[in-house]
């Protein structure tokens, strides 16, 4: 981006904007007329040729217009895009979704996902919180019927998970409770990561039950604890992308859907993402990004219908609360023509889970970013609200 003068930036931005709006390769002539450049099409043509040379644009075939390359989108997102704050109506619409109070964390996360897909018109994904580093707070073993029990695991964050298990038929409710209490006494406060089959077994040593009976229960308790941080994925609006021309090719659409529904694929990918990771290329030079806020000099010949450059959202850009992955940057087959915008939500003090929006590369980045930012905020609020009083049990 360092190499791009103002005019090139304007042109690149215009090309991306136009292509996002129309899905048609954009040519020099229509650019000039539609965006009221005060230079001739020939000049724009030359600039576009250079932009192509530099890798920001590409041509589907000779004598067609240009479309942005992944690098072009990247530059657009990193330094050309103006992210507006969400309009009051849109914010209200989102708040409205969250109005009916929900008492389960999963319900909230689901809702966030629904909101995102419905309000953006793309596909949304949400990941249940990552709980590896949370502590065991309680464990109960509830007798269901001889031979079957329900293990309930409560984590520090107030998250509750349970699991039906098979146990020796001779055990009664009283004995199960004693085992659970022993485990709870010894292990509560430990992080899930630190708990092993050995620690569980040791914890239950003090109970007077014969080992042969204990073993199966302990194993199930252990598995239940370990599974408490199982990732869950919520997805909404996967059909939405079929409205966009890039998926008119059914083969592509199928690949895309297959990738989305393949169990674990998206979850695995999302859980490995890191926020603020500089998508390593020459764009990372922050100076050039800041350039934007300079007053437009006489070279900035583009007169945008509405100018939104260089003001408050610069803060967002300096400390982006979201991650954007574009096209090939997403390492999943079937999502090659997509972009993936994600952000995290918090539970208590540390980063918990992730929500995201998947759309065509040609997606309305500004709109999605403002929506996802707002949903993130709302979700965080709701979660705090949900677990108020939580601190009292924490660490037990």
Q: Provide the binding-site residues for a copy of itself, judged by CB under 8 A.
A: 103-104, 138, 140, 142, 144-148, 150, 152, 154, 158, 160, 162-166, 169, 236-239, 242-243, 247-248, 250, 253-254, 257-258, 261, 389-390, 392-393
Q: At closest approach, how far in Å is the CB of 244 from a copy of itself? A: 10
Q: At closest approach, how far in Å is the CB of 152 from a copy of itself? A: 6
Which residues lie closer than 8 Å to 251 by C-beta, 6 or more apart?
none
Interface with DNA (CB under 7 A), residue from 52, 118, 291, 394: 52
Which residues lie closer than 8 Å to 232 by C-beta, 6 or more apart?
106, 127, 128, 267
Q: Which is nearer to DNA, 28 or 117 (CB)?
A: 28
Asked if 54 interacts with DNA (CB under 7 A), we say: no
CA distances from 380 to 343, 346, 364, 377 (A): 12, 6, 24, 5
Q: Which does 129 bind (CB under 5 to 8 A by kind): DNA, a copy of itself, none?
A: none
Stretch in the footprint of DNA (CB under 7 A) among 40-48, 97-105, 233-241, 355-363? 40-48
Q: Which is nearer to DNA, 354 or 362 (CB)?
A: 362
Instruction: Looking at the chain, list the stretches that DSSP marks H as alpha helix, in order from N- to C-terminal side.
Output: 6-22, 28-35, 41-54, 70-75, 88-97, 105-120, 173-187, 197-203, 211-227, 250-261, 265-272, 286-291, 313-318, 365-386
Asked if 59 and 50 count as a contact pair (C-beta separation under 8 A), the reply is: no
Asked if 235 interacts with DNA (CB under 7 A), we say: no
Q: At closest approach, how far in Å is the CB of 68 from DNA? A: 13
Q: Which residues of 127-144 are buried (b: 16+ CB within 10 A; e: fewer)?
A: bbbbbeebbbbbbbbebe
Q: Which is nearer to DNA, 31 or 358 (CB)?
A: 31
Asked if 298 interacts with DNA (CB under 7 A), we say: no
Asked if 372 and 341 count as a contact pair (C-beta separation under 8 A), the reply is: yes
Q: Which does 23 bind (CB under 5 to 8 A by kind): a copy of itself, DNA, none?
A: none
Helix (H, G, I), strand (E, B) or coil at 211: helix
CA distance 179 to 219: 12
Asked if 30 interacts with DNA (CB under 7 A), we say: yes
Q: Which does 63 bind (CB under 5 to 8 A by kind): DNA, a copy of itself, none?
A: DNA
Place of tokens 């530099």: 54
Which two three-digit tokens encode residue 364? 């309305």
Which residues lie closer than 8 Å to 291 by C-beta, 6 or more apart?
79
Asked if 27 interacts with DNA (CB under 7 A), we say: yes
Asked if 40 interacts with DNA (CB under 7 A), we say: yes
Q: Which is nearer to a copy of itself, 34 or 396 (CB)?
A: 396
Q: At closest approach, how far in Å is the CB of 145 from a copy of itself? A: 4
**Helices 105-120, 365-386: crossing angle, 10 deg rounding:** 160
Q: Which is nearer to a copy of itself, 68 or 353 (CB)?
A: 353
CA distance 56 to 140: 58
Q: Is 41 exposed, middle or buried (0-12, 13-18, 19+ CB in 10 A)?
A: middle
Stretch in the footprint of DNA (CB under 7 A) among 36-44, 217-225, 271-279, 348-356? 36-44
Q: Which is nearer to a copy of itself, 17 or 220 (CB)?
A: 220
Q: At closest approach, how far in Å is the CB of 162 from a copy of itself? A: 6
Q: Which is nearer to a copy of itself, 61 or 392 (CB)?
A: 392
DSSP state of 205: G
Which two three-digit tokens encode residue 356? 């995201």
Q: At closest approach, how far in Å is the CB of 298 from a copy of itself? A: 47
Give residues in contact with DNA (CB under 7 A).
25-30, 39-43, 45-46, 48-49, 52, 59, 61-66
């Amino acid at each position: 981006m360092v190499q791009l003068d103002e005019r090139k930036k304007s042109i690149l931005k215009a090309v991306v904007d136009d292509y996002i709006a129309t899905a048609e390769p954009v040519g020099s002539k229509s650019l000039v007329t539609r965006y009221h450049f005060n230079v001739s099409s020939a000049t724009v043509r030359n600039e576009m040729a250079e932009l192509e040379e530099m890798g920001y644009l590409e041509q589907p075939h000779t004598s067609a217009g240009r479309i942005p390359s992944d690098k072009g989108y990247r530059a657009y997102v990193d330094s050309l895009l103006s992210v507006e704050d969400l309009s009051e109506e849109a914010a209200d619409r989102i708040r409205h979704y969250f109005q009916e109070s929900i008492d389960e964390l999963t319900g909230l996360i689901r809702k966030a996902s629904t909101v995102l897909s419905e309000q953006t018109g793309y596909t949304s994904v949400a990941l249940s919180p990552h709980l590896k580093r949370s502590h065991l707070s309680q464990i109960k073993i509830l007798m269901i019927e001889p031979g079957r029990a329900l293990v309930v695991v409560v984590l520090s964050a107030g998250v509750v998970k349970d699991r039906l298990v098979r146990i020796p038929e001779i055990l009664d409710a009283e004995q199960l409770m004693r085992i659970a209490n022993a485990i709870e006494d010894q292990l509560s406060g430990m992080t899930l990561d630190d708990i092993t089959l050995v620690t569980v077994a040791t914890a239950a040593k003090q109970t007077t039950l014969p080992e042969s009976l204990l073993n199966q229960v302990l194993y199930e308790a252990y598995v239940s604890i370990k599974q408490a941080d199982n990732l869950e994925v919520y997805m909404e609006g996967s059909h939405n992308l079929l409205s966009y021309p890039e998926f008119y090719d059914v083969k592509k659409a199928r690949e895309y859907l297959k990738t989305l529904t393949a169990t674990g694929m998206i979850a695995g990918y999302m859980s490995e993402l890191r926020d603020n990771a500089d998508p390593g290329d020459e764009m990372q030079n922050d100076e050039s990004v800041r350039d934007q806020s300079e007053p437009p000099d006489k070279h900035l010949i583009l007169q945008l219908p509405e100018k939104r450059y260089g003001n408050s959202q610069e803060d967002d850009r300096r400390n982006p609360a979201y991650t954007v992955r574009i096209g090939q940057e997403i390492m999943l087959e079937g999502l090659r023509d997509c972009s993936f915008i994600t952000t995290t939500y918090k539970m208590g003090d540390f980063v918990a889970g992730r929500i995201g929006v998947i759309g065509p590369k040609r997606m309305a980045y500004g709109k999605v970013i403002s929506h996802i930012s707002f949903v993130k905020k709302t979700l965080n609020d709701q979660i705090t609200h949900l677990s108020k009083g939580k601190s009292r049990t924490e660490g037990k």
